[in-house]
Chains A and B, each alone.
Chain A
């Protein structure tokens, strides 16, 4: 195999980390490598012995940014590794990428990361998320030692190749957007300290990402920069033009104590929709049990005229059936399913959700749902071991590692307490499964959408309250568990979308 070329532009001021990274490259079992780096002053902090060793090494080249821009030739080697010198490489890193290339013919390769503590490898691994365009547009999680094959760099414009980080970003975006072969190695071929990983994943350079996202035309025009929940900037999609939206709300017509006051849930949610939502292009379809409350609501909701439609439901409770009936009684191109114990927080929530559905690759989208005490009710699902609400009852807005709640990202599923989907896709997958009247109907719905090759997106950039839960029975029965396992059991156990250290 030909030479692998390492490129480093993130040489840290910490000389110890730099020396360890350099040593890990110098001590590779396979010597078929070359290293070009822009040292940015770190070299003078290292020991003289180390400096001499590095400078005299035949495979190591030091360049300035200008030299790199004018002279670097990307045609010489078969693969380029964007090497962050805060990371240590496994001693057979070069061998491993050759082996993986022979087996998988990848365009881009990244691996999981071992966690270092006191300079030693801990028994912890950062399982990195699978490739995810949404997440990648907002967080730079492929960093460390990202391997890109030569042909993918060759296709970039001359301007892109003038700067190492531009090459890295543009090659990554082009490969992911072009649906080329992204290979995730599920073992740690590199390692770094937990402190550095925390720092890195929580302080993403959004200027860079914004430039890269816009220039690669991945996100389109409807992107605005927004302040994320932990104070980082993120990119918030918005609908490019006005869309018609049907909001379907199944209800029994219950009342519940909210903010200390006995509240009529359906009246509260509809009031909140009309008062707080910035877009006006929506209708509401309420699928209501026929009971005393129905008669009451028929008169109280009349004030909204044609924009609120009351559909009677005379059978025993079935959430899926109610949602399906609601859709058949609606007319808009975009559908949003909402529980009755919801209250709007962010005025742009509807535009933001629909903004995602403009993309053909997105199947469904959902926001972050908060309890009345501010804790998270649902941040999408995690299928580990069985599908459940991710980050449930944890603090929202705290800096976390990895960036669990920072940015919009692909997830395994969403709660139907608030879920947006295109009508076409709803019909394509047969709506909600009516054999699941209470639980897992949203899990099944999202799995069916993913089977069509579309992604499910969760976004923290739109928030709603969810005063869980009066709309359904929360007890999961054995039959329901068996049913969902019989359909999708193979996808449970390891969640590829959510990376977790614990």
Chain B
């Protein structure tokens, strides 16, 4: 089966979870929670098969261009969600993981994969660097989304006449905790990704650092997260400030994602 076919099936299965989230917000009932998890597991298996198929079709680690990038990101987000589900049972993460996975795979289905076979892609550092970066993106996306939910929930509670969101969004504390853990994990991966990126740059271009837009954005994002972690470390609770910083930090990360996938193809940037 071609990789694209796997991806379409995956889209259908992730849609179950996305529909559940929509229903939950609208009706305040948990209608499909088990079915959605089962569909996510099946979707994840097919997604894995699709990515490995794409890998063998492309002949290099599939992380070139928008198609690969969003597909891989969705795969990691679902992986993170399923791991959290196994550890802690159903919780708030599904709220952001299902819609995010659905939208990302939808984009992957619409955009054809890039046909690029640069010999540089076969270097050892490329798959390692890209995987680490994407793990970081996935974790930081979760932090961003939970921060957003934190702000919405805080607004609901402050209003003193909470509406539907109040009931569906988890408690402030769990938004804060999940967001905080995700930042720690994401920051770790981001740091490692920057280090391996420097090494790859050295291998490909003969120099570690070249002051290009991508590197500067990475540095900016990294500094924002350092600030965020310090805030958390000092108070033990991130609160509103951490939520806002998580959102700003992710904006930098999203920009980084755009630089690397949409505007410049990876190898071009590497030269």
Q: Are the chains A and B members of one assembly?
A: no
Interface residues, chain A, CB within 8 Å of chain B?
none
